[in-house]
Amino acid sequence: MIRALISIAFLTLTACHARAQSVTTPGAKVSDQTLQHDGRERRYLVHDYSGGKPAPLVIVLHGGGGHPENGATMTQFDVVAAREKLIVVYPGGTGGMPGGKLLTWNAGHCCAYARENRIDDVGFIRKVIDQLVASGRADPKRVYATGMSNGAMMAHRLARELPDRIAAIAPVVGGIFGDEAPARSPVAAIVFVGQADQTVPAKGGPLGGPERRGMAANLGRRPEGHDLAPAIAQAEYWAQANGCTRPPVEQAVPGQFIDTRWENCTSGKPVHFYQVENNGHAWPGGRAGRAEADQPTPAVNASEMIWRFFAANPKP
């Protein structure tokens, strides 16, 4: 328990829940649901804007230390969902604290409680997807996953292990560690990183930035125990998996991002990599979880860009 709390304190990936009320727009059918998986009750929010017709399903994964409501608030994905008539699911990770807060995902080497307790988050998300598809509400060819930070790492893991269900992913200010198993099948990927991110550093290395490294040194250990690969490794991993053999094309949009794209891929599944200017450890175009956290740039709206990419890359 103590180790898990220390790990979350190091991460500081998302904010306290004071500003984390879930945001919906008119037309949503909202349900707060649970299911039993691996001996645990798991919670997830469903925001359904489909109007009763089979619709695309977007899984939005909160960051480390977050929970479903603050995942909705920080990403503002309901704004897109309402216009496009999507079903958005905000699942909750697991944690050792009462009240359903300070939750993490078991993305492999990260993070905290979920990693230390080897929580089967892949199986949990599989059940959520399968239930919504079996009900006729979700289109099985248009199931997508996105997430922030630890949630972004979990999106990578879902794509690796559930490519039969996930059509495309959009990790935001996350990373990989460089020793992940090869992907089972190609999956389209759009990746966002902040050029000013100190929590998940672009060059790779210890997760959490200088403050966490100093605390870890004082304790004589690093909670996550493994360095991150450089940020670009996320895109290179999927470019290799997707058969993107030609060099990427790079374009800079001043004041917004550097856009690196692999689009001539034998699988037909592209990879986009955005290095967002003036953005730290935050969801571009979204909301910060607390006043002292990194503030997202308003110049780039990641949720809008993610949906355009998802819409263009359903399963065949």
Rounded distance, CA 253 to CA 256, Å? Answer: 6
Give the per-residue pLDDT at 292. Answer: 85
Q: Identify the CA nearest to 33 among candidates 111, 124, 121.
A: 124
Tell me whether strands 249-253 and 40-48 are parallel, antiparallel or unpaired.
Answer: unpaired
Would you give the distance in Å from CA 91 to the centre of its chain? 11
Give the per-residue pLDDT at 191. Answer: 98
Give the per-residue pLDDT at 12. Answer: 42
Give the per-residue pLDDT at 3. Answer: 42
At residue 178 the predicted structure's pLDDT band, cuts being 50, 70 and 90, is very high
- Of 40-49, 93-102, 103-112, 305-314, the range with the lowest mean pLDDT is 93-102
Residue linked to tokens 């389209």: 188
- The pLDDT tens digits of the residues spanning 56-70 come to 999 999 999 999 999
136 C-beta neighbours (distance < 10 Å), count: 10
Give the per-residue pLDDT at 14. Answer: 42
At residue 16 the predicted structure's pLDDT band, cuts being 50, 70 and 90, is very low
Residues paired with residue 193 on neighbouring β-strands, in sequence order:
275
Alpha-helix runs per DSSP H in the chain: 2-11, 68-75, 77-84, 112-116, 121-134, 150-161, 209-219, 232-241, 302-312
260 C-beta neighbours (distance < 10 Å), count: 21
At residue 217 the predicted structure's pLDDT band, cuts being 50, 70 and 90, is very low
- The pLDDT tens digits of the residues spanning 291-302 come to 888 999 999 999
More confident call, 214 vs 253 = 253
- The pLDDT tens digits of the residues spanning 89-115 come to 999 999 988 878 899 999 999 999 999
Distances (CA, A) of 229 to 187, 233, 283, 298: 20, 6, 20, 28
Residue 254: pLDDT over 80: yes
- The pLDDT tens digits of the residues spanning 218-234 come to 334 445 668 999 999 99
Residue 151: pLDDT over 90: yes
At residue 211 the predicted structure's pLDDT band, cuts being 50, 70 and 90, is low
In terms of Cβ atoms closer than 10 Å to its own Cβ (0-12, 13-18, 19+), residue 97 is middle
Residue 262: pLDDT over 50: yes
Residue 275: pLDDT over 70: yes
Domains of the chain with bracketed CATH: 2-312 (3.40.50.1820)
